[in-house]
Amino acid sequence: MNANLAFPATVLLGGVAALDATPVAQTLLSQPLVTATLLGWIWGDWQTAFSVGVVLQILAASTLPVGSRTPEDYATGGVVGTGVALALAHGVQMQPWRDSAALAGVMTGLVAATTGVPLIRWQRRRNEGLSRWCEAELRAGRERSLGEANLAGAAMAFGIGVAYVALWLAVGSFGLRGLVEQESLRFSRAWTVLQPLWLGFGLAQLLSAFVQRRLTRAAVFGASLIGAWLTLVMGMP
């Protein structure tokens, strides 16, 4: 897709991801691997989208929206990270530059996911006012206020998602372009180490969630690792 169309499509996807994350449906459409796949198709660059999406996904998987805790916002962070990487790598064939763009994308995505937390908290405080308004309207006889309050909450989440992704996409893809271009060798070298480091880190976080200090589960993981390794390296028996 033409970059002029890919930018607005990325921004709109940010709004959809912000909706799916909490306010509407919660189907995991907002997960970084899913949004990266869609962005890879939109921008016509699967390689960059996957390399960034897999890293952000494995880190997002151990971040859970339990109770009233506000977790890092990987819905918009995932779109920002992959979008920035795709924008920086757009039309470039040189591998160090592409790796450098991937690193810039992951780092921007992580920062955007972290700085998104106060924004979500702010949004939730605005929803408190919306709830009180809704109850008052109901008692005054307007039953439609329930639907209107929910629509307003969803519209606010979508609008904030769109604006937040647009802001980070502009900052990341234009602000980092010079750095990515000039320091592509350094960034590329860092990416070759950081990508497997992050992957191992994320896999360990997930493993810890599954094992929960139970020896049989740890043994199942160990047997699976050794079995898969032997099958991969030595071939099927």
Partner 1 sequence: MARLDQSVFLRVAARANFLQATWNFERQQGVGWAYALQPVIEALYPDAAVRRERLAEHTAYFNTQPTLASLALGAAARLEEQRAAGTGPDAAAMGRIKGVLGSTLAALGDRLFWFSLRPFAAALGVLIALARPESAAGAIVLWSVYAVPHLALRFAGVGIGYHRGAGVLGGRLRDYLETAVTILAYAGCIVLGVAVAWSLAPGGEPRTIAVQSAVAGGLGVGLLSAQRARPSPTQWALGMGVLGILAAWQRLA
Residue 68 φ/ψ, nearest 5 degrees: -100, 10
- Give the Cα separation of 15 and 24 in Å (integer): 12
- Residues 53, 78 contacting (CB under 8 angstroms): yes
Residue in 80, 86, 103, 169 binding partner 1, rule: CB under 8 A: 103
- Residues 202, 61 contacting (CB under 8 angstroms): yes
Work out whether the CA dihedral 204, 210, 214, 218 comes out positive or negative: negative
- Residues 60, 78 contacting (CB under 8 angstroms): yes
Residue 10 found at the interface with partner 1 (CB under 8 A): no
Q: Which is nearer to partner 1, 2 or 232 (CB)?
A: 232
Residue 119 found at the interface with partner 1 (CB under 8 A): no
- Per rule CB under 8 A, count of chain residues that contact partner 1: 104
Residues numbered 204-223 forming contacts with partner 1, rule: CB under 8 A: 204-212, 217-218, 220-223
| Residue 85: CB minimum distance to partner 1, A | 14
**Any idea which residue has 């996911």 for tokens?**
113
Residue 222 in 3-state DSSP? helix
Contact pattern from residue 146 through residue 185 relative to partner 1, giving x for each residue in contact according to CB under 8 A and a dash for the rest: xx-xxxxxx--x---------------------------x
Residue 29 found at the interface with partner 1 (CB under 8 A): yes
Residues numbered 35-64 forming contacts with partner 1, rule: CB under 8 A: 36-38, 41, 46-47, 50-51, 53-54, 57-64
| Residue 137: CB minimum distance to partner 1, A | 9
Residue 85 found at the interface with partner 1 (CB under 8 A): no
Residue in 6, 10, 22, 89 binding partner 1, rule: CB under 8 A: 22
| Residue 213: CB minimum distance to partner 1, A | 10
Residue 40 in 3-state DSSP? helix
- Give the Cα separation of 237 and 217 in Å (integer): 25
